[in-house]
Amino acid sequence: MLGFQCDCSCHDYDPASVYSEHTVRARKPHECCECGETIPVGAPHEHVTGCWDGNWSVYRTCGSCVSIREHFCPGGWIFGELAEQVRECLGFDYRDDPATWDQAEVDEEDEDNRRWLAQRKTADTVAPEADHG
C-alpha cells in the first residue's frame, strides 16, 4: 500500500451549483479531460455535467485517470488539472511513458508510486456495467 497522498486541495473554489456524475460507456470516441487520451467506443468512463460560476461544463474522464485521482487526490481536484497536481506532488508527469521517467531521481516510495501509476495507465478501472453515454 502506498503511503503518499497529494495534499493539494480545491477547497478555495466554489462547488458546482448543479452537478451530475455517471459512469457510462462511450458510444463514440471522446477525449479524457485529464490525460488527453482517446476514450474508445465501448469504454467505461466518468461523465460529469455541472454548472460552475454560472457556466455549464461537461467532463469525461477515462477509468485510469479516475483511479489515479481517487488514489492520490482524496482532498479534491479541479477538472482538467490532475496531471499538473500529480506532477507538483510527485515530481513527474504520469502521462509520460514510464520508460522515460528519470530513474536516477527515484527513491523506493517514488518507485512504488510510479509502478502503481504505470499499471493504471493500462488498466480498465471503472465498473463494466455502466450505462451508454
pLDDT value of residue 121: 63
CB atoms within 10 A of CB 56: 10
Mean pLDDT, rounded, of the chain: 79
Q: What is the pLDDT of residue 40?
A: 97
Is the distance from CB of 61 to CB of 24 less than 8 angstroms? no
Could you tell me the pTM of the whole model?
A: 0.74
What distance in Å separates the CA atoms of residue 121 and residue 68, rounded to the nearest whole number?
9
- Residue 75's pLDDT is 80
Which residue ranges of the chain lie beneath pLDDT 70? 1-13, 101-111, 120-133
Digit-coded pLDDT (tens) for 14-25: 788 999 999 999
Q: Provide, rounded to the nearest whole percent, the portion of the chain with pLDDT above 90.
A: 41
Output the pLDDT for position 115: 73
Chain centroid to CA 39: 13
- Interatomic CA distance for residues 2 and 63, integer angstroms: 20
What percentage of the chain's residues is helix, strand, coil (to nearest 5)?
A: 30, 25, 45
pLDDT of residue 127: 42
Identify the structural domains of the chain with CATH numbers, from first to last. 18-126 (3.30.1740)
